[in-house]
Chain A
Amino acid sequence: MRDLVFIAFLAVMFLLGSKRPFILILTYAYIDIVSPQRLTYYLLNSIPISLIAFVGAVGAWMVFDNKSDTRLSWRQGLLLLMLVYCGLTTIYADFPIDAARKWDWVWKALVFAIFLPLTLRTRLRIEALSLVMVLSASSIIINGGMKTALSGGGYGVLNLMGVENNSGLYEGSIISTVAICIIPMILFLAKHGTIFPPDWRVKAFAYALCLACLLIPVGTEARTGLICAAILGGLMFIHMKRKLLMGMLGALALVCALPFLPSSFTNRMDTISNYQGDESASTRLAVWMWTLDYVKTHPFGGGFDAYRGNSFHYQTVQRTVEPSGNIRIETINVVDKQRAYHSSYFEMLGEQGYAGFLLWLVINFGTMIQTERVRRRFRDTTDPAKAWIAPYALAMSQGHLIYMIGSFFVGIAFQPFVFMLIALQIGLATYARRLEADAGWQPILPTRPVAAAG
């Protein structure tokens, strides 16, 4: 039954795309985020819907779209360089078969990120893509938020739509990071949206969705999510007008929410400061140290999934309270191997070496800096048609920064979602540049005032 509903949905999207080709691009973004083929049992699994949507989107752009005002950005050049570089490291990878498997989806995400800004020529297109990204992610977030509110969730327990292999956005730490990073975008759309103009229904949905986003780190018990949420609170606080009032309301909301948090959540969050007794945190530190050593002998990285070559032993400290009241502290030796990086920064360093790591940093932080520049150029504009640009730029850079902070603890350097965020920001920057160029444009023959002519 679910298969038929998804097929009907995609059929309608393709049909609408035949009327307006940009909708095919939205369809591809939707498929990349939701992965409907993973949610079904038989029919969709056998159809390459992602490929069909991609070919449709690129083909429609090449044939129908106006390309006269298309502008390229240096960051698209860097993404292209990253694509070639990753292709080369895949050829010389330590584990060629595993590397090829990751390369298989990474190149698509990179190509789409290079292509996407070419199509983002109008405000409505930028808004539409942002909206579809938020709504696509909401299919997982509403689900997780409701389940958390009703049952409390648990680390590795929260069942997101029955996807078992924990892949894509359906993994707890990844969806926690993404859920928090889209909150500024949700708030922007609720205030400045034109597809769903702001009214009480839009606002109610947006606030409920933000609540669901905040519940995701609670439900998945991913510590990354809690750190992201705290930083988002700080970032939003900086730009608030009534800081004292909002700060007090925020603190009050936090105090009121604490009793409702499941004890397993608070226990797990305690391990952020008490990481020595936590095997997962100790494993991370050991993998990170291994990566730093590895890259010294492999400056160009080991290709995708190079972590499979790691093996190490480390010690954790376990603290137990005995029935007599004594506290017993034990040092346990742990031997481990083939552990993933659990950090995008170390993922890039280990897999792509110093050069790839640097390139990745420049793409991400360069994009954020560029977006901040756009915000500063437009923040004092009096033109109502351009009033959306500064708040949008702020929402994007906040969301991207949250993602990059979450990336410290999750290996999500090549998630298609972040490349869409980057593409949206490139699209915004080129759009802003065009607006500024248009504002400075003069017709070849000067326009005389009508009264003077008469």
Chain B
Amino acid sequence: MIDNFSLLLSHGLILVACWRLLSRPDLDDENPVDPRIAFFGRRPREREDA
């Protein structure tokens, strides 16, 4: 009874945690940087707007 409860609770929480990770783009990349920004410092279109 206690064995099953602790297994269900811990494994259930691991699954919920991993499920939540699916909708988090920052798991793989925190600052998705546009290569143009990396080089020029801002997007070319921003420069046009300016």
Contacts and interface: CB of A to CB of B under 8 A. Distances in A.
Interface of B is mostly: helix
Interface in A416-450: 443-448, 450
A2 B4 CA distance: 9
Interface string B1-12: 011111101110
Interface in A1-35: 2, 5, 9, 12-13, 16, 19-20, 22-23, 26, 30
Contacts of A48: none
A317 interface: no
A446 B41 contact: yes
A443 B39 contact: yes
Given A23-B21, A147-B2, A195-B21, A444 B10 contact: no
A30 B41 contact: no
B18 A13 contact: yes
B10 A135 contact: yes
Q: How large is the interface on A (under 10, 10 to 19, 20 to 34, 35 or more residues)?
A: 35 or more
Contacts of A143: 2-3, 6-7
B39 A444 contact: yes
A309 to B, nearest CB: 39
Interface string A48-77: 000000000000000001100000000000
Contacts of B7: 2, 5, 39, 139, 143, 161
A139 B6 contact: yes
A41 interface: no
Contact of A139 (B11, B18, B37, B39): B11
A8 B24 CA distance: 24
A124 to B, nearest CB: 5
Contact of A125 (B5, B27, B37): B27
B30 A123 contact: yes
A20 B27 contact: yes
Interface of B: 2-7, 9-11, 13-15, 17-22, 24, 26-30, 37-42, 50
28 contacts: A5-B7, A12-B15, A13-B18, A16-B18, A20-B21, A20-B28, A22-B21, A22-B28, A23-B18, A121-B28, A122-B27, A124-B24, A124-B26, A131-B17, A132-B14, A135-B14, A136-B10, A138-B10, A139-B11, A146-B5, A161-B7, A195-B17, A443-B42, A446-B41, A447-B42, A448-B50, A453-B50, A454-B50
The 3 closest A-B pairs by CB, nearest first: A443-B41, A139-B10, A143-B6
